[in-house]
Amino acid sequence: MAKEGNGQETGVVRGLGDVVAANSRLGCVDGEQGKLWYCGYDAIDLAREGCYEETLYLLLHGKLPAAQQLDALRREMGRQRHIAPALMQLLHSLPGAPTSMEALRTTVSALSATDPSPLDKSRQANLRRAIRIVAQMPTLATAHWRMRQGEQPIPPRDDLSHAANLYYMLHGRVPSEAETRILDMCLILMAEHELNASTFAVRVVASTLSDIYASLTAGIGALNGPLHGAANTEVMKMLLEVDHLGDIDEYVQVALGAKRRIMGFGHRVYKTSDPRAVFLRQALTEMGSQLPGVHWFRLADQIRDVVFKYKQLYPNVDFYAAPALYGLGFPMEMFTSIFACARSAGWGAHVLEQYDDNRLIRPTTCYTGARQQAYVPLAQRERRSSISVGVAVEAAESQPPAA
């Protein structure tokens, strides 16, 4: 039942900031200390030492895999990468989808139509579905992009890692070890981030006991908003603009003077440095000579220094993920869909967790509208409306003509 606020938002927390909405063993953000944990493991350690497949297993099972378990997961992901012909036909029939995010939103939903065991609602079946979605989303995203460029989709390879296969399906060549490593790091750092907007949307849908495909479709829709997953694209647009102008200090001063937001700085949760940005900056600096696009990393670093000089703001993960992806040859229009592909691991894990201890998510509102209004039958409303119009016309005609 909605609460009556007498016109005031009494007790309302706008945007649900700091409201605890779920128990979770998955992601933990310590905004005060600048830490991010996946199932108790420092996400930075996972990015530095591990791989995306390990991170996926950790999120789905709550523990790191043994070698045999990791090999089994890799084989399963390789087997699941190939999409059904019907889905490929669907991609061909979506010429109006302007980006791969719109195509993902449609085709991930359509994956339910090709589910091999749609009536099996067991946890094991949903676990297989989570892996299937994670494995197939890069195939869907890259196939749609290549179709829009008038090129043929490149079939996935089951002998490559998740990151290397994603790169391969877009570019048609196997990436170098350094290219694979930096992409793998980006995917790991974007895999999970507690109850952000898209993950909350995923859990709300899952709490109705709708299927995992519907749940992740909701997550894709939320991530596509410019206040959520599209920030990395805006960062790259800014880097290109600054590069064209050539004067970083002037650009920052003009932006700040106009109270225009400088993309890639600040975060809703982190009160200090975003640990993902700190690590990614370090990795790009160390590996820069082995990667294409090093110019963009250095430009980002220069902007970082100037912004900190004037505003003492810290960059977030988008600020370094954008030049990393651009340097790897990913078009800006695909940045958000790469984010979605990475975050699908966390989304799938949240669906399973919601199913394990489900309660329908149903918050309430503080009602601020009118009260105790008397119903007026339609005929009387029409009569009153006609009278009001007539009075208005009369008043207008009685005014003296304009000079």
- Which residue among the candidates 82, 158, 228, 301 is catalytic per the annotation? 228
pLDDT in tens, 332-386: 999 999 999 999 999 999 999 999 999 999 988 888 899 999 999 998 888 877 7
Q: Indicate the CATH number for domain 21-223+333-356.
A: 1.10.580.10
Catalytic residue among 184, 211, 274, 318: 318
How far is CA 163 from each of CA 115, 178, 231, rounded to the nearest angstrom?
24, 11, 21
Catalytic residue among 144, 267, 274, 350: 267
Residue of 233, 255, 230 whose CA lies nearest to 306: 255
Spans of all domains in the chain = 21-223+333-356, 232-325
**Active-site residue flag, 228:** yes
Q: What residue type is 397 in one-letter code?
A: E
For 243-289, the pLDDT digits (tens) are 988 889 989 999 888 988 888 886 667 777 889 999 999 999 988 77
Q: Which residues contact 127 (CB under 8 A, 6 or more apart)?
A: 60, 352
- Sequence-ordered list of residues with C-beta below 8 angstroms from that of 290, at least 6 positions apart, any chain: 176, 178
208-232: burial string, b at 16+ Cβ within 10 Å, e else: eeebbbbbbbbbbbbbbeeeebbbb
**Packing angle, helices 275-287 and 177-189, rounded to 10:** 180
Q: How many angstroms separate the CA atoms of 181 and 24, rounded? A: 29
Alpha helices in 50-196 (DSSP H): 52-61, 67-80, 85-92, 100-110, 123-148, 162-171, 177-189
Beta-strand relationship, 27-30 and 3-4: unpaired
pLDDT tens for each residue of 53-107: 999 999 999 999 999 999 999 999 999 999 999 999 999 888 666 678 999 999 9
Q: Which CATH class is domain 232-325?
A: mainly alpha
Query: Kind and range of the H or E element at 341?
Result: helix 335-356
